[in-house]
């Protein structure tokens, strides 16, 4: 998914709630579906973007996250499941319509610099 803002992006609140698609391994580890890397908590339970510009991509609406999750699978093998999880985001950057995520489908996505999973 897109990890950088588009020219038509609009600001979002600095903190709030959203939804992410993640891979949950059978051993309980949560990994990114795109990079296949585990999320690293660096501020207690908070995961911090550490790759320069851009930020973590997520959905502001659960309905959008579920639709994207239903349309595409990043799973490889049978040792995991792909799920939609609620997050609390911090340092919100902006939102835009992503058109290159899944072919001709459009999704409203947002970016933030930090988030934590909500249990």
Beta strands in 10-50 (DSSP E): 15-25, 30-31, 41-43, 46-48
pLDDT of residue 1: 52
What is the pLDDT at residue 105?
86
Among 36-45, 54-63, 107-116, whose mean pLDDT is lowest?
36-45
The pLDDT value recorded for residue 108 is 92
Mean pLDDT of the region 84-92: 97
Domain ranges of the chain: 15-117
Confidence of residue 118 (pLDDT cuts 50, 70, 90): very high
Confirm if 56 and 113 have CB atoms less than 8 A apart: yes
| Strand 41-43 to 46-48 pairing | antiparallel
Q: Is the pLDDT of residue 23 over 90?
A: yes
Report d(CA 111, CA 58) in Å as an integer: 6
Per-residue confidence band for 92, with pLDDT thresholds at 50, 70 and 90: very high
Q: Averaged over 69-86, what is the pLDDT?
A: 88
Q: Give me 67's structure tokens.
A: 């639709």
- pLDDT-derived band at 104 (thresholds 50, 70, 90) equals confident
The per-residue pLDDT for range 25-54, each reduced to its tens digit, is: 999 899 998 888 999 888 889 999 987 788
Residue 45 near residue 117, CB atoms below 8 Å: yes
Q: Is 72 helix (H, G, I), strand (E, B) or coil?
A: coil
CA angle centred on 57, ends 55 and 58, rounded to 5°: 135
Task: Of 9, 21, 11, give the one whose Cα is nearest residue 56.
Answer: 21
């Amino acid at each position: 998914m897109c990890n950088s803002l588009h020219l038509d992006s609009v600001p979002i609140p600095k903190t709030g709630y959203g939804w992410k698609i993640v891979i949950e391994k059978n051993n309980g580890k949560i990994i990114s579906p795109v990079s296949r890397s585990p999320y690293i908590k660096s501020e207690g339970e908070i995961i911090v973007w550490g790759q320069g510009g851009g930020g973590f991509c997520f959905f502001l609406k659960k309905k959008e996250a579920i639709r994207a999750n239903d349309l595409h699978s990043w799973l490889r093998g049978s040792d995991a499941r792909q799920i939609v999880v609620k997050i609390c985001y911090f340092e919100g950057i902006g939102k835009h319509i992503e058109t290159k995520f899944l072919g001709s489908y459009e999704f409203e996505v947002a970016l933030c610099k930090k988030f934590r999973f909500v249990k």
